[in-house]
Amino acid sequence: MSSSPIISIQPLGFQWPVLDPFLFCVHHLDYFPKGNGEMGPAASLEGRSIGQDFTIKDGWRMYHGDVIP
């Protein structure tokens, strides 16, 4: 009988379950807009809450600031 190194399998969503309440483990996939020559988006930022823009509007979000990292 062999022992598997896999303890459990569960689907992963936005926030991953952790054993310690002081750990925060999250995965997200970022889509960025086409950039301009100044490292900003080649699209309007109107209607976006820069720094808190977590909604995927027009296929991308700008929660990290007003330039593309």
Q: What is the CA radius of gyration of the chain?
A: 18
Condensed to tens digits (0 to 9), the pLDDT of residues 9-61 reads: 888 776 777 778 787 766 677 788 888 988 888 988 888 888 888 888 888 88
What's the whole-model pTM score? Answer: 0.51
DSSP-assigned letter for residue 35: B
What is the CB-side half-sphere exposure of residue 62 using CA atoms within 13 A?
Answer: 21
Paired residues of 57 in beta bridges: 60
